[in-house]
Amino acid sequence: MIALRRRYGRGLVLGVLLLVMVMVTACAKDTQGVLPSPPAQEESGDQNTAGADNKGEDEDGSSDEPANPNEGNSTGEENSTGQEPAQEEDQPDASNQADFSDAHSVTVLVNKEYALPEDYEPSDLVYPDVRFTFSEKIEKRMMRSEAAAALEKLFAGAEEDGIYLAGVSAYRSHSTQTSLFNRYVKKDGLEKAKTYSAVPGHSEHETGLAIDVSGSDGKCAAEDCFGDTKEAEWLAKHATEYGFIIRYPEGKEDITGYKYEPWHLRYVGTEISSDIAERGITLEEYYNAVPVTASP
């Protein structure tokens, strides 16, 4: 600059400086004009996209991914895998009723409401080796094989305690029960006869599982006075040990439909007989089959 000043003079130098300043100013403005602007449009697009995603979740309440089948279903899983609903009290156990109406089962229920098939006849009748009040080998001396074997053990157990029993009447065919019932009706009338004898088909004697017993002398056989004997007392205490029950106990007439018969034994097996004895109930109560209807 000093050399120019000396050669061309002061005025020329000032002109050159002014030109340079103008050019610098112009370049600065151009440079400022091409600076990138803030990416406002891109930010707006991102915000819109995010907003759309959020909107989708808010409206649907869930994402597009498949819902977890286990979520929100804890109650259903507990119901399906948890404890079973408690059974109502006083409802009969299903296992108790397995042979409730099977005429061929030793646990069958026969009473005024539940009858045997008209053509039913036990296929395994035998003569138990015990004392009877008669000597003839006739049908009323017979019982089904399982009941007969249990009866032999009962008689033997009684003798060990000094009690001597005798059978009075066991199995009856349908025809025999019909003749017997008709005779009672003729003697005492229908309603009274039905308090101590069964309509044909509704008699336990037809099952081959029941037997009327007495003392070995036959006194008070099938009569009310038997209830006061030592034989009746022993049976009341020990019959259930051998699978038998006093089928028509005292004070249960409204349930069984029959008056007290301390001589009438019914074989049901030791499992049921023990349960009945422990609970002090009847066979109807055991099966929750009460009350018994007034007829037949």
pLDDT tens digits along 131-144: 999 999 999 999 99
Catalytic residue among 261, 271, 284, 285: 261
Strand order in the sheet with 244-248: 165-169, 210-215, 261-267, 244-248
Q: Is residue 183 part of a domain?
A: yes
DSSP-derived secondary structure letter, 132: B
At residue 77's C-alpha, the angle toward residues 74 and 79, to 5°, is: 110
CA atoms within 13 A on the CB side of 58: 6
Stretch (H or E) spanning 265: strand 261-267
Q: Is the dihedral of CA 212, 113, 248, 123 positive or negative?
A: positive
Distance CA 199, CA 194 (A): 7
Highest mean pLDDT (candidates 26-40, 86-100, 231-245): 231-245
Distance CA 261, CA 232 (A): 10
Query: How far, in Å, are 160, 205, 206, 218, 239 from residue 198 at the CA level?
Result: 34, 9, 10, 23, 23
User: Which single residue is written with the structure tokens 């599982």?
Assistant: 209
Q: Is residue 89 part of a domain?
A: no
For 88-131, how does the pLDDT look when each residue is reduced to its tens digit (9 = 90+)? 434 445 455 556 889 999 999 999 999 999 899 999 999 999 99
Q: Is residue 171 part of a domain?
A: yes
Active site residue 271: no
Nearest to residue 281, comparing CAs of 236, 235, 247, 238? 247
Q: Is residue 187 part of a domain?
A: yes
Q: Is residue 255 part of a domain?
A: yes
Domain that holds residue 237: 125-286
| Global pTM value | 0.67
Q: The domain that contains 162 carries what CATH number?
A: 3.30.1380.10
How many independent structural domains does the chain possess?
A: 1
Give the residue-averaged pLDDT of 58-69: 38
